[in-house]
Amino acid sequence: MRETLNKINKIIRCNIPGNFESEPVRKTVTINLFLIIGITFLVSFGIQSIIKYKISYAIVLLTTAIVSLSVFLYLQKSRNFKIAGLLIVLILFFLETYLIINGGLEGTAFLWHYVFPVLSLFTLGLIWGSIFTFLLLGITTILFFTNPAFMYPYDTVLEYIFIFSFLSVYLIAITFEFVRDRTYKSLLLSNKKQSLYLEKITQQQKEILSQNTELEKHRYHLEQLVKERTLDLEIAKEKAEESDRLKSSFLANMSHEIRTPLNAMVGFSTLITDPDLPAKQKNEISYYINHNSDTLLRLIDDIIDLSKIESGQLKVDKRECNIDKIFSLLFEIFNEKRENLSKNKIEIKINNKLKKKNFIIYTDPTRLQQILSNLIDNALKFTEKGFVEYGCFFSDKNNQELTFYVKDTGIGLYPDQQDQIFNRFNKIEEDKRKLYRGTGLGLSISKNLGKLLGGKLWVESEKNKGSTFYFTIPF
């Protein structure tokens, strides 16, 4: 039963969305109900006319029923209630005109006229509904007063009663329609205001949501910024603490490194003044004084170089230099040092892989020799037996880059130590039983000097097997 009622409701509404308060639904339902009721009456009166042998009257009624059915089907398909309403008013207009002339069944046709003002006003509105109503009233009044021969004979009193009652129905209908129209427009205006208000509230909500989103983004951004700044501060703090620790260690170490050669120089200087001292011992003392003065001088040079590097004042003096001569000079210096250190189990080797002898390059020979000296000195310091080898080779096919290396069979490095050793004041001293003298500046200075010469310095090492230090310069 409910499904049947739903289907009837869809047919009457023509599946137009909305409630009965909306204009399309209300007018569509009204037109459909009038068409259904009208078709029913037209068919019923048509059949009665056939029974009473009023064939012409029956044809008009049944034809009107068929035309009304066509309008009903048109409305179902198009949902255009305005055209359908106009068509139904025109159909009723011509039917009323015909019926007032014909008289209908026993002169009752004029009763259909009372439906017309209600339908036309409701369907077409106040203006067009009134025009069609007065047009029909005018035609009816003219026919009543002229009373042509083809017209059904009505009683005169009945004609006046009809005219005044028709006007009364029109006035009631127009008053009702006027009130309904104003109420509907008022509701529309109220709904429009509510819609605008709701739209404004919705827009404000969107703006608030947008502002909240932006605030959330800013809050998140600030949180991230605070985290980053906090992390930066923690890193800076750690670096500062590490720097402070290294500087403290450096000062303590530097104090030791400076005082050791100075003490030796002061002590041996006192001994060498003894006139009874044998010549051999005087020579030994003289060697120790020279050796410690060289150590002290090299330490002062490292401190000055580090200061110049940090202030950006260290300059390089590039010129032509002979690699073989630099290698030979270094060999003489460190071979003598090896003998003085009594490291007879170490062999110092030169491995120059360049095919041409007396090879000339354009760089700063002093800084090149300083880098190699630092690397060879470290290799000799941390190697007890085996060899220390240094040399150079071209690292690319186009001979655009020259690579120098220093290789040893010393104590080596762990992977995590291979970056630390290039930091300032950093020294790797795991074996507490053996003291390795040094300031922890040599490799840091060498790496910066390598950059100034246009290259880079790095190390490849394996613990307890040895290390190989490489540095490049452009050729």
Residue 225 lies in a domain: no
What are 340's two structure tokens? 């003085």
Residue 402, Cβ density class (10 Å: 0-12 exposed, 13-18 middle, ≥19 buried): buried
What total of structural domains would you count in the chain?
2
Q: Residue 136 belongs to what domain range? A: 2-154
Residue 302 lies in a domain: no
List Cα–Cα distances, 264 to 112, 272, 289, 342, in angstroms: 141, 12, 7, 19
Cα separation, 406 vs 388, in Å, equals: 7
Cα separation, 337 vs 265, in Å, equals: 19
- What's the pLDDT at 388? 93
Residue 368 lies in a domain: yes
Residue 305 lies in a domain: no
pTM, two decimals, is 0.47
What are 262's two structure tokens? 């100075």
The answer for residues whose C-beta is within 8 angstroms of residue 457's C-beta and 6 or more apart is 371, 422, 443, 446, 447, 450, 469, 470, 471
Burial of 69-102, coded b for 16+ CB within 10 Å and e otherwise, reads: bebbeebbeeeebeebbbbbbebbbebbbbbbbb
- What's the pLDDT at 151? 76
Residue 288 lies in a domain: no
- What's the pLDDT at 241? 78
Cα separation, 133 vs 251, in Å, equals: 116
Mark which of 154, 178, 207 sits at the end of a domain: 154
- What's the pLDDT at 386? 92
What are 82's two structure tokens? 């305005």
Residue 149 lies in a domain: yes
Mean pLDDT of each 10-residue bin along the chain, 475 residues long:
61 58 69 78 78 76 81 76 77 77 60 74 80 81 79 75 80 80 73 81 87 85 85 83 70 65 69 73 74 72 73 82 89 87 88 80 88 89 90 81 91 83 68 59 84 90 90 87
Mark which of 96, 122, 154 sits at the end of a domain: 154
- What's the pLDDT at 315? 82
Cα separation, 438 vs 447, in Å, equals: 17
Residue 250 lies in a domain: no
Cα separation, 461 vs 412, in Å, equals: 6
- What's the pLDDT at 122? 78
Mark which of 120, 139, 154 sits at the end of a domain: 154
Residue 232 lies in a domain: no
Can you give the CATH number for the domain in which 330 is found? 3.30.565.10
